[in-house]
């Protein structure tokens, strides 16, 4: 993936592009939906799919403080399946009229064939253009415009403004829900006054650079992943008034059960829950006593505050994988074998679905058989590559999935997803299915660097929800990963069998429909 700053006076490779337009700071769930729309462009039988390009406007006046560093934004971009992420300084385009922007930037420079934006997108000098203007100007030039409606969370549109409000108010549960991941502080570690070390709890200090949103000053229960292990921690955001103060706010974090030198590094400190406001103590001894109490409170909270949680696998638990496979089989048959009758193509698609056996086959052998049986005019590896590319965009949730999740949330359960699989493919499936706004946390094992059935990935999800493993149920369909992993982590496993696999282990409760969860919980 190409990630860099770009201005319209620079020449790009003259390739067709599917462009996502917007101010993508934070890469929240609404942003992911716009980018997913740009990503979902099928190659035709005569041409490859266009490059997926994000045109991210930076330095827009009155947008508020930044939510993520450039490194953090680039890391998020890598999970989105884009080919180019172009950071465009606002001043380089702010004097262009809407018509000039469309013609000179989108058409002449980017060679856009598809342009995607959010429902509230504004562009052109003084923000004169909106989504309707974009469509009016683009379509005569042969560019398809896709306007993505608001992505909502509990009836409110997800926006960068809403994320900033949550962060500024210390509402980290809300910030995590809107971002689809914990809000993190990831600035370089600088040398501090070493008071923490002298007091028995060494801390790392990460000053906030100018231009970034600062969380509400105070103490937070936090988490940080180091060397493949998630550690509990406590973080103070503020200016340390009791011990002389600092000119600018900084994050000072004590990482429990960790010894190591992090100077010069930029570890991601996940702020999980606000504990108390920063205040000035009368004596250093009073501050030390309060810090000890804060550490105890943070440990207790992250180990579980009594709340109940339900975690889910994704494929064949929330997502109907056979339907998704059938959809991509039909797409491949339509593209490569258009001369077949509709009935024959449908017969072949259903044969491909049945022989795939839910994905539990040797892909090389399987696609060689498919090419021979159906007469595809391409090599087996081409079909395999295209199926992996296109499969996410046929993701389809199981019936009642959203309804059940909303009701469980209404009943007070904290919800999450833990899914194995390649990071990019799983993230694309989650984005296309639109499931993220209905859960509190999502862990894609490929992104986390740890896989089910390892207990670590289950622990990470529970701690981000502040739920004890003993108070957490894991719902999954694949016993070697889901049931065994949940048991390894001390959770209650629940086997779901929506396709009649009949693989429920002894002693494990079984359901065959998501709606049965509402009877159990």
475 with 387, same domain: the answer is: no
**Structure tokens belonging to residue 183:** 């809000």
Query: Is 169 part of any domain?
Result: no
Regarding whether 197 and 142 lie in a shared domain, the answer is no
- pLDDT for the residue numbered 47: 61
Looking at the fold, whether 61 and 35 belong to one and the same domain comes out as yes
Is 80 in the same domain as 137? yes
Global pTM value? 0.93
Full residue range of the structural domain in which residue 327 is found: 321-394
If pLDDT is split at 50, 70 and 90, which confidence band does 440 have?
A: very high
Q: 79-98 in b/e burial notation, b at 16+ Cβ within 10 A?
A: bbbbbbbbbbeeebbbebbb
User: CA angle 96-100-106, nearest 5°?
Assistant: 110
19 and 133 co-located in one domain: yes
For residue 511, give the 3-state DSSP assignment. Answer: strand
Residue 168 lies in a domain: no
Residue 161 lies in a domain: no
pLDDT band at 172 (very low <50, low <70, confident <90, very high): very high
> pLDDT tier at 196 (50, 70, 90 boundaries)?
low
The single-letter DSSP state of residue 188 is: P
Q: Is pLDDT of 288 > 90?
A: no
One domain for residues 143 and 107: yes
3-state secondary structure of 220: strand
The reported pLDDT for the residue numbered 306 is 93
Instruction: Please report the pLDDT score of residue 422 as a whole number.
Output: 87
417 part of a folded domain: yes
User: Cα separations (Å) of 279 from 195, 286, 287, 451?
Assistant: 17, 11, 9, 41
Contact between 478 and 322 under an 8 Å Cβ cutoff? The reply is no
The sign of the CA dihedral 63, 167, 254, 258 is negative
Q: Rounded CA gap, 148 and 31, in Å?
A: 10
Which CATH number do you get for residue 35?
3.40.50.620
Question: Both tokens of residue 384?
Answer: 């395999």
125 and 240 belong to one structural domain? no
Is residue 39 assigned to a domain? yes
With beta carbons less than 8 A apart as the criterion, state whether 333 and 349 touch: yes
Alpha helical stretches, state H, 48-87: 70-77
Q: Is the pLDDT of residue 507 over 80?
A: yes
Question: Same domain for 132 and 55?
Answer: yes
Whether 426 is in a domain gets the answer yes
Question: Is 133 in a helix, a strand, or coil?
Answer: helix
Cα angle 144-145-149, degrees, rounded to a multiple of 5: 145
Q: What is the pLDDT of residues 122-161, one digit of tens each?
A: 999 999 999 999 999 999 999 999 999 999 998 899 999 9
Q: Which whole number is the average pLDDT over 64-88?
A: 93
Residue 503 belongs to domain with CATH number: 3.40.50.1000
Contact predicate 400/519, CB 8 Å: no
Q: Is residue 478 assigned to a domain?
A: yes
- CATH code for the domain of 274: 2.40.30.30
Q: Which of 252, 269, 302 is the last residue of a domain?
A: 302
62 compared with 323, residue with greater pLDDT: 323
Question: Assign residue 252 a region: left if phi > 0, alpha if psi is -120 to 50, beta otherwise?
Answer: beta
How many independent structural domains does the chain possess?
4
Q: Give pLDDT tens digits for 460-481.
A: 999 999 999 999 999 999 999 9
Nearest one of 195, 194, 185, 220 to 287, comparing CA atoms? 195
Final residue in a domain of this structure, among 133, 153, 173: 153
23 & 45 share domain: yes
Q: Is residue 65 part of a domain?
A: yes
Give the full edge-to-edge strand order of the sheet including 414-419.
Answer: 441-444, 414-419, 309-312, 472-476, 492-496, 509-511
**146 and 16, same structural domain?**
yes
Residues 387, 400 within the same domain: no
Q: Are residues 123 and 191 in the same domain?
A: no
Work out the number of other CB atoms within 10 angstroms of the CB of residue 360.
Answer: 7
Domain boundary among 106, 130, 153: 153
**CB–CB of 417/442 below 8 Å?**
yes
């Amino acid at each position: 993936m190409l990630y860099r700053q770009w201005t319209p006076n620079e020449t790009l490779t003259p390739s067709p592009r599917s462009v996502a337009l917007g101010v993508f700071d934070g890469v929240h769930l609404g942003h992911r939906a716009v980018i997913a729309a740009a990503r979902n462009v099928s190659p035709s039988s005569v041409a490859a799919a266009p490059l997926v390009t994000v045109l991210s406007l930076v330095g827009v006046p009155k947008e508020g403080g930044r939510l993520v560093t450039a490194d953090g934004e680039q890391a998020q971009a890598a999970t989105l399946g884009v080919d180019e992420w172009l950071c465009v300084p606002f001043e380089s385009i702010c004097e262009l009229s809407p018509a000039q922007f469309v013609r000179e930037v989108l058409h002449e420079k980017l060679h856009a064939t598809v342009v995607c934006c959010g429902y509230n997108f504004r562009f052109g000098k003084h923000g004169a253009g909106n989504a309707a203007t974009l469509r009016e100007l683009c379509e005569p030039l042969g560019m398809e415009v896709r306007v993505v409606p608001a992505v909502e969370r509990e009836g409110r549109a997800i926006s960068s403004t809403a994320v900033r409000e949550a962060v500024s108010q210390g509402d980290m549960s809300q910030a995590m829900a809107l971002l689809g991941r914990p809000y993190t502080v990831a600035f370089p570690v600088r040398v501090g006054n070493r008071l923490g070390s002298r007091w028995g709890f060494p801390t790392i200090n990460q000053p906030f650079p100018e231009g970034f949103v600062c969380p509400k000053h105070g103490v937070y229960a936090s988490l940080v992943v180091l060397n493949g292990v998630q550690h509990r921690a406590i973080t103070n955001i503020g200016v340390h008034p009791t011990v002389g103060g600092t000119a600018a706010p900084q994050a000072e974090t004590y990482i429990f059960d960790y010894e190591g030198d992090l100077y010069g590094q930029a570890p991601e400190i996940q702020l999980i829950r606000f504990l108390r406001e920063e205040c000035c103590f009368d004596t250093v001894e009073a501050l030390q006593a309060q810090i000890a109490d804060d550490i105890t409170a943070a440990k207790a909270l992250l180990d579980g505050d009594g709340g109940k949680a339900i975690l889910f696998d994704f494929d064949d638990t929330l997502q109907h994988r056979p339907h998704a496979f059938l959809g991509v089989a039909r797409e491949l048959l339509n593209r490569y074998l258009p001369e077949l009758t509709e009935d024959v193509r449908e017969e072949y698609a259903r044969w491909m679905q049945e022989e795939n056996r839910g994905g539990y086959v040797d892909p090389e052998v399987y696609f060689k058989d498919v090419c021979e049986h159906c007469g595809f005019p391409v090599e087996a590896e081409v079909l395999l590559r295209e199926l992996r590319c296109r499969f996410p965009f046929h993701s389809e949730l199981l019936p009642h999935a959203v309804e059940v999740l909303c009701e469980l949330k209404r009943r007070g359960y904290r919800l999450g997803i833990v899914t194995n699989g390649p990071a990019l493919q799983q993230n694309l499936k989650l984005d296309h299915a639109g499931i993220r706004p209905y859960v509190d946390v999502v862990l894609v094992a490929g992104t986390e660097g740890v896989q089910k059935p390892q207990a670590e990935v289950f622990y990470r999800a529970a701690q981000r929800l502040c739920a004890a493993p003993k108070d957490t149920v894991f719902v999954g369909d694949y016993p070697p990963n889901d049931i065994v992993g949940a048991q390894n982590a001390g959770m209650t496993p629940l086997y779901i069998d929506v396709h009649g696999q009949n693989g429920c282990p002894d002693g494990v409760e079984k359901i065959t429909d998501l709606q049965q969860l509402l009877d159990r919980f």
